[in-house]
Structure 1
């Protein structure tokens, strides 16, 4: 088994942002987590950073909450929580040096307020590393490189203190430095001619992100984007201007605004600002950074489960939750699939798919 760590802890309280009016409404569970995790050694605890997060959304949760009359309408998640939001994160997960596995998955178990289990949800595979690689990366270590159009998270940590960690995040359309929530960004690399191009002419390029490249960070949820920036390697609080090696997981880096070369992406308490970085007196190929302009970059994954549970009583929890990756439709009226779960697909036409029912009455809605 590659399922290693389970969310453990408290309750998730609050209400969804949507109000459910129909008895059959979609329910979504979104898990955000890093692609790699550092192993702890001895008494040291290297907590997962950024911490795995869970978001719950959809009309169906409100419908289910209203249906549980006479009971405590709380959704139990085995993670630490923030009130008034359908959001939770696990800040105390770490990997002991006694564990020899090189990869693992997270397992989320979701319960309703009556202790009825909805099911379990798996994350994507996470790679275990001992420490960030300081060597120049190659194709042999492609899983440690950052690809263009992949998802990343950025955080700032003062003097390696966990309590000082701030994450680059988006709140109501504005970029902020948050101590509790982090945002997944799509990082895209521009072509070489974009070094002097207008901001609106940013042309995407494929491949691995390398230092010295023009990149753009776009919030995967809201679409809010930062201006094009040049990513720079950081060493001893200096941005190195003449390095072009691939960017690797958990590298320290800085972001130089393309249209304002002296300005760097920086945080000041909870605010995102531009820091005017002076050149190094001893070495013109370096600029001096402050604490707030040194960022750690890490690849992240987003796993989303959307289903329709209805108001039926779940006698047996769904574990693990089924994932449908594709459905081939031919000239048939009715087909019964037999797998670890039994599904019934009703097809009214080649282009229109009705509802997909599971024997334990959890319903997944497929739309053409």
Structure 2
């Protein structure tokens, strides 16, 4: 698991990748019996190093091992009758500025088997992540929805992290309690040794420092029921190995084009591992520090969509990588704001230590600048202490939470003539004399009337625009950073005896392949004989030779497209349990093979098997 983008570090700074690239090893063949002099064979775990391509490899990572129920165990005394799950987090990884042209990197997970006394250590494999796009810093500009790499799209996976006072040591990641017991095997079934009845606790959001969970983010239609109807089948997931989306998620486009998520839309988060779905949330833009904005159409504005937005509001900017955001809990009973008011604020998802609760801001929503001349009356939401809200048990019921807004800084006060301190008046740049416009910390305050008029155009970014007519201060605990994530899963099976080492002494554990299982051979798709685009061009000598000696199998051959096929060590192709009678590797990405001889109508998976017996299953079905 890794992020889709990562910031480059310049000079001596170290911007660690957030969330940290993480390897999860599922299965018992990662462990091996190790023989040390004078001792009985002992089952030992592998060693793991997570690094970034092109950067020096860091020290060996620490692995947290659990059984299939998610309960940790001591590696010197591994339990029996369960599936081992190891999680190794690549901490403190960063991308240096040595290679200025570097646009993409990969996280590399090198897994080495433990070695006995007289043996050299053997690398099980080096597994690359999906590519990570290198950026210099998060974009402040409004993202064009066409720039798909930097947008957060409907049905994509994300990670959310929270930081206090921008300190990296305080980074906490949004997780779901109990998600560690939800991993599936390569066949999609629950892991061996998992007792489904033992899962009694209701899952809830929690914040962790040492691990993270990916979430699928869906735009939802709040007018559709969130519970599954008896007659309606669940919509298909965006990827085959994702959990079923909630029934109120909006449909995907027919042509496969992405749907960007915009601020003010109603969304849900679904834990990728456990499938648990959050209550409906409104995704909010954090404008600066702890100020959230939202709202409807500005007077006179046209052509701004209000698809799936909070009632009475329109879409803000597209949500973009590494933006600071907030989640307001959607309240179906609230309805449209009263005319002329910004409406009552909802509660926000907030992080207090390890707990994730909801917090209702003390001061309600305020207009950003005057609407149409006169100042609109501001109706603050009544100050309510944090509530569990309409979301039931998803958030644990919080105690009293002390989250008062920070006190004003020294520079905000001017000495007054009676010895006390008075607040400095902020000068309004609105000619209509409405509500003073909030001035960001870094903006120069206009010093004279002349500069006010000259800066009016430039200052408009602090004012109201459609989708950002009001603001509310939510406090530091409710601000999250969002980043897209990617997952890649490598499934392989090591048999109890390997063909190239059949006389090895039998121990209770699985053997280590004599060469790494990576680069990983994989199947993407196959084409039947009449559709294969492999007819040789007749004008080159080698093709003429092929045509002169026609292959007797050519009329029946399937063409299989994939990656990392080897001519020197060709794989066998199986259809379920039946082998293909003939396989020829044409290049690293194409092989030809005959279909199985028995014509069973049943669909079977295409499986690749290496000459030593290591099995590489695929999700591609035949016929």
TM-score w.r.t. structure 2 length?
0.49
User: What's the CA shift for 1:140?
Assistant: 4.3
Give me the whole-angstrom Cα distance separating, in 2, the residues matched to 1:354 and 1:137.
42
Question: Aligned residue for 2:248?
Answer: 202
Distance verdict in 2 for CA 1:262–1:365, change over 3 Å = closer
Question: Aligned residue for 1:276?
Answer: 360
Give SS of 1:144's match.
coil
Question: Aligned residue for 2:41?
Answer: 70
Is the 8 Å Cα contact of residues 60 and 310 (structure 1) preserved in structure 2?
no
User: What's the CA shift for 1:66?
Assistant: 5.1
Give me the whole-angstrom Cα distance separating, in 1, the residues matched to 2:15 and 2:164.
15
Check if 1:301 corresponds to 2:302: no
Unpaired stretches in structure 2, ≥5 consecutive residues? 51-60, 67-85, 116-120, 179-202, 228-246, 253-258, 296-314, 333-344, 369-377, 379-469, 499-511, 530-555, 574-578, 581-595
Question: Aligned residue for 2:92?
Answer: 92
User: What's the CA shift for 1:162?
Assistant: 0.9
Give me the whole-angstrom Cα distance separating, in 1, the residues matched to 2:267 and 2:278.
10
The within-5 A match list for 1:233-252 is 233-235=285-287, 236-242=289-295, 244-252=316-324
User: What's the CA shift for 1:332?
Assistant: 7.4
Give SS of 1:292's match.
helix
Question: Aligned residue for 2:13?
Answer: 44
Give SS of 2:284's match.
strand
User: What's the CA shift for 1:60?
Assistant: 3.5
User: What's the CA shift for 1:132?
Assistant: 0.6
Aligned counterpart for 1:291 among listed residues 476, 486, 510? 476
Distance verdict in 2 for CA 1:222–1:71, change over 3 Å = same
Root-mean-square deviation (CA, aligned residues, Å) is: 2.7
Distance verdict in 2 for CA 1:161–1:341, change over 3 Å = farther
Question: Aligned residue for 2:515?
Answer: 316
Question: Aligned residue for 2:609?
Answer: 357
Give SS of 2:276's match.
coil
Question: Aligned residue for 2:111?
Answer: 110
Question: Aligned residue for 1:214?
Answer: 266
The count of residues paired between Structure 1 and Structure 2 equals 330
Instruction: Provide, for residues 17-61 of structure 1, a one-character-per-residue CA deviation record: whole Å limited to 9, x for no partner.
Output: xxxxxxxxxxxxxxx000000011122110000000010112444
Q: Mean Cα displacement is larger for which, 308-317 or 95-104? A: 308-317
Give SS of 2:491's match.
strand
Is the 8 Å Cα contact of residues 199 and 228 (structure 1) preserved in structure 2?
no
Is the 8 Å Cα contact of residues 145 and 260 (structure 2) preserved in structure 1?
no
User: What's the CA shift for 1:67?
Assistant: 8.2
Check if 1:165 corresponds to 2:134: no
Give me the whole-angstrom Cα distance separating, in 2, the residues matched to 1:353 and 1:128.
37
Is the 8 Å Cα contact of residues 234 and 252 (structure 1) preserved in structure 2?
yes
Give me the whole-angstrom Cα distance separating, in 2, the residues matched to 1:245 and 1:340.
53
Instruction: Provide, for residues 69-96 of structure 1, a one-character-per-residue CA deviation record: whole Å limited to 9, x for no partner.
Output: 7256121101422433310111111011
Instruction: Provide, for residues 187-231 of structure 1, a one-character-per-residue CA deviation record: whole Å limited to 9, x for no partner.
Output: 00124xx2x665447241541000011111000110111111110
Distance verdict in 2 for CA 1:66–1:209, change over 3 Å = same
More strand by share: 1
Give SS of 2:97's match.
coil
Instruction: Provide, for residues 223-244 of structure 1, a one-character-per-residue CA deviation record: whole Å limited to 9, x for no partner.
Output: 1111111100002201111361
Is the 8 Å Cα contact of residues 71 and 113 (structure 1) preserved in structure 2?
no
The within-5 A match list for 1:26-41 is 32-41=1-10
Aligned counterpart for 1:53 among listed residues 22, 43, 68? 22
Question: Aligned residue for 1:265?
Answer: 349
Q: Mean Cα displacement is larger for which, 260-269 or 122-131? A: 260-269
Larger Rg: 2
Give me the whole-angstrom Cα distance separating, in 1, the residues matched to 2:218 and 2:317.
17
